[in-house]
Chains A and B, each alone.
Chain A
Amino acid sequence: MDFNWTLFFQFLVIGLATGSLVALVALGYTLVYGIIELINFAHGEVFMMGAFFAATVITLTGVTGDDSAGLIVAIMLLALAGAMIFSALLNRGIDWVAYKRLRNAPRLAPLIAAIGVSFILQNLGIYWKGSNPFTAPSLIPFDWRTYNVLQEWPILRDWFEGSTLRITLMDLFVIAVTLPLLVGLSWFVYRTRLGTAMRATAQDREAAALMGIDINRTIGIAFWLGGSLAGAAGLVALLYNNSARFNMGFQYGLYAFTAAVLGGIGNLAGAVVGGVLIGVIWAMSDGFLGLYIEGWGSQWTNTVIFSILVLVLVFRPSGIFGSPTTEKV
């Protein structure tokens, strides 16, 4: 059988969109790990709660796909802001309730606390929206989902004439939300006073404290940032997948964790690259490999992703971008 380039690119597009979501969630893992060396296993649930909150906000406004395009976009922005603020508050609250007291405890203690918080949030999710997947509020008009920019936009139309490859408005929407957030985050971390304080705290907490940095406040900022990115990812996942479920944070969360480890945990650029890679592998395994391998399908995706996790941990624990971490004296 010939190699099907069209489908390959189709799944690549899906993978890039999904991968940007994974990257947003992975950044939350890596930000928190970078600063307090805690793997915040509740992070996937913060993402899920962001999606749930966004769904509730959209439903409450009562705006549907039948309303004007301007109103729909306004409600999307409102839901985005709402989900980001809600998830940031939630993440910071989790830190305050569950981790802050354990700062000087053995590392296992906050890790187990994180797993506990994760279970609590999943059960809250069941209580909130039930245990079955629910369809996202019908905010996005059907023709936006089917609108294929490769066939509709002037120049692209000529280039892709006769091709069945599709890039829809929804794919663009994911990128349109993700890219500014990534740029904004790196600007914050590398160009502002608080970002510099965060990097200093990540490198040497004690020295940073002695340089006048309030450590607890700085750790709090990492939780604010990670939470707001997870909230944004929650809204985008809700609208992109058109559904949500209480355990969506489990899958996304573990994939994002794998992405963070793959890129080099604690490394921001690594989380983004790892996220996109995992997204592409995810999409290929779900859809593309089945064309060539008898019986391959999405049931194998977990196996593939976690095999990658194991291989990275065994052969290159510092990840793609990892440099040896600064030794502590």
Chain B
Amino acid sequence: MAAQVTSVPGQPTTGARVEPILETRSVSRRFGGLVAVDQVSIVIPRGSISSVIGPNGAGKTTLFNMIAGIYRPSAGEIRFDGDVLSRASDMGRARYRRPDQIMEAGIARTFQNIRLFANMTALENVQVGMHSRMKAGAVGAMLRTAAVRREEADSRIRAIELLDYVGLGRHAESTAKNMSYGDQRRLEIARALASEPRLLLLDEPTAGMNPQETAGMTRFFDQMRQDLNLTVLLIEHDMKVVMGISDHVSVLDHGQKIAEGTPDEVRANEQVIEAYLGKDAEQTAAALASRQQQVDDGATEVTNS
């Protein structure tokens, strides 16, 4: 069975248990006869960088979509910051929230295949992200009240600050579809940050990047967590990406959680190795170790340059 967690970084080892920022309790999602996610319970410690990994088709994105409110869980419960975010009827009174309400509660996300508003400028994309934090309604907008004008001016300034923060300050007026792939990924993050989230969900944020870019990006996540007081939850199918930066890793396979713990614990777990690369366990472990070395080397190179 799953490797048991002995200690979770970011959580005090003595004294009262800190309330986790996100917790799924026996969450399942069925699509007809297919069980995409099967009774998954994970705990995301506050202030951590946590990861959910698993081979393609393991149910990671489905789990993400349930957290974000696109899918309703067929069973189980998801709690965010002590509140019930969504709950299927098997856990008591069913309760669901719309995606925009979940965003307002403080969870933002990026997408596996970039989903920017392609025909808008970078600045406008970020301003859309701020939508839920602004108040101006249709009437106020038409009357141009002082409060509305101030809010719009503030939102513009803050959007530019965010673009600067992710390194896109020069591209504020570029149309999203004309930006480079890496810049689009950064813009997605800026747009997600615009809603002032407490939990940031990143769906394969380094897909399509080379080892150097990946190393730079993962260091940026760590920076973000510190600067913005965030908890970060990553989804990856590529194990080596998350090992270097995660405090806590959960592994899914065929919809079930097969392991969780620190990166080292997970890396050593035989079920995990089997799930990823079949049964040649020794070979696999060696391959993983050498790949990890490559990523670390990449990181060093970037730091030195």
Q: Using CB atoms and an 8 Å cutoff, list the residues of chain A in contact with chain B.
A: 188, 192-194, 196-197, 199-200, 203-204, 206-215, 221, 224, 326, 329
Contacts and interface: CB of A to CB of B under 8 A. Distances in A.
A224 B28 CA distance: 40
A212 B132 contact: yes
A214 B137 contact: no
Nearest to A206: B70
Given A199-B120, A206-B70, A212 B136 contact: no
Contacts of A188: 141-142
Interface residues of B, number: 36
B218 to A, nearest CB: 23
Contact of B120 (A194, A203, A215): A203
Chain A interface, >50% SS class: helix
A326 B118 contact: yes
B210 interface: no
21 contacts: A192-B141, A192-B152, A193-B127, A193-B151, A193-B152, A200-B117, A200-B128, A206-B70, A206-B115, A207-B116, A210-B69, A210-B99, A210-B103, A211-B108, A211-B129, A211-B131, A212-B133, A212-B195, A214-B100, A215-B98, A326-B119
A211 B99 CA distance: 8
Contacts of B134: 193
A212 B138 contact: no
B104 interface: yes
A204 B129 contact: no
Given A212-B129, A214-B98, A196 B124 contact: yes
A206 B98 CA distance: 11
Contacts of A214: 98, 100
Interface of B: 68-70, 98-100, 103-104, 108-109, 111, 113, 115-120, 124, 127-129, 131-134, 136-138, 141-142, 151-152, 155, 191, 195
A193 B129 CA distance: 11
Contacts of B68: 210
B98 A207 contact: no
A208 B128 contact: yes
Contacts of A206: 70, 99, 115
A47 B131 CA distance: 32
A209 to B, nearest CB: 4
Contacts of B104: 212
Q: Which 7 A-B pairs have the closest CB atoms?
A: A212-B132, A212-B103, A209-B99, A207-B115, A192-B141, A200-B128, A203-B117
Contacts of A193: 127, 131, 134, 136, 141, 151-152, 155
Given A188-B141, A204-B115, A329-B113, A196 B99 contact: no
B133 to A, nearest CB: 8
Given A204-B117, A207-B115, A213 B138 contact: no
Contacts of B127: 193, 196
A18 B136 CA distance: 36
Contacts of A210: 68-70, 99-100, 103, 108-109
Contact of A192 (B70, B111, B136): B136
A171 to B, nearest CB: 28
Nearest to A203: B117
A213 to B, nearest CB: 5
Contacts of A199: 117, 119-120, 124
Instruction: Tell me which of A193, A196, A208, A329 has the highest count of chain B C-beta atoms within 10 A of its own C-beta.
Output: A193
Nearest to B136: A193
Instruction: Tell me which of A188, A212, A215, A224 has the highest count of chain B C-beta atoms within 10 A of its own C-beta.
Output: A212
B108 to A, nearest CB: 8
A211 B195 contact: yes
B117 A212 contact: no
A192 B135 CA distance: 12
A194 to B, nearest CB: 6
B267 to A, nearest CB: 32
Contacts of B151: 193
Contact of B138 (A194, A207, A326): A194
Contacts of B103: 209-212
Contacts of B152: 192-193
Given A192-B136, A212-B132, A207 B117 contact: yes
A196 B120 CA distance: 9
A211 B195 CA distance: 8
A197 B120 CA distance: 11
